[in-house]
Amino acid sequence: MGFSQTKDSSFTIASSTNSSNIEGLSIFPNPVTNGKLYITTKNNLTKDIEIFDVLGKKVFTASLFDKELNISKLTSGVYILKIKENNITATRKLVIR
C-alpha cells in the first residue's frame, strides 16, 4: 500500500482593477477568418493591443489608431487579446481560423 501527495496551486492569467470596463467595447469578427479584426469603443481613442498565445507568450503588439487590425500573420488557434484604452484594460479570448 502506498500514498501520493498532491499540491494545489492557482495563478492569475490577467488582472487589472479596471479589467473589462472599456465602455462600448466591440470586437468582431470572432472567430477571425480573413486576417482582419475590428475593435471599436464608445470613445474610439488610440488603443494599445497585445495578443498572447495559450502559453502566455506575447505574439503580437500594436497601437491601434483606427478600427481595423491586421493580424493575418498569426496562425490559426486560440489567443488572449489584451486591449488598453485610456488606462483601462480589457482581456478577451480571440479565435483565428
Nearest-angstrom CA–CA distance, 33 and 23: 26
pLDDT above 90 (res 5): no
The total of structural domains in the chain comes to 1
Whether 48 maps to a domain, the answer reads yes
What would the mean pLDDT of 29-43 be, rounded to a whole number?
97
Whether 82 maps to a domain, the answer reads yes
Kindly state the DSSP code that residue 75 receives in the 8-state scheme. P
pLDDT reported for residue 21: 86
Residues of the chain above pLDDT 90, percent: 78
- Taking the whole predicted model, whether its pTM rises above 0.85 is answered as no
pLDDT digits (tens, 9 = 90+) for 11-32: 444 444 444 589 999 999 999 9
pLDDT reported for residue 18: 46
Whether 10 maps to a domain, the answer reads no
Kindly state the DSSP code that residue 32 receives in the 8-state scheme. B
Q: Which of 49, 36, 54 is nearest to 93 (CA)?
A: 54
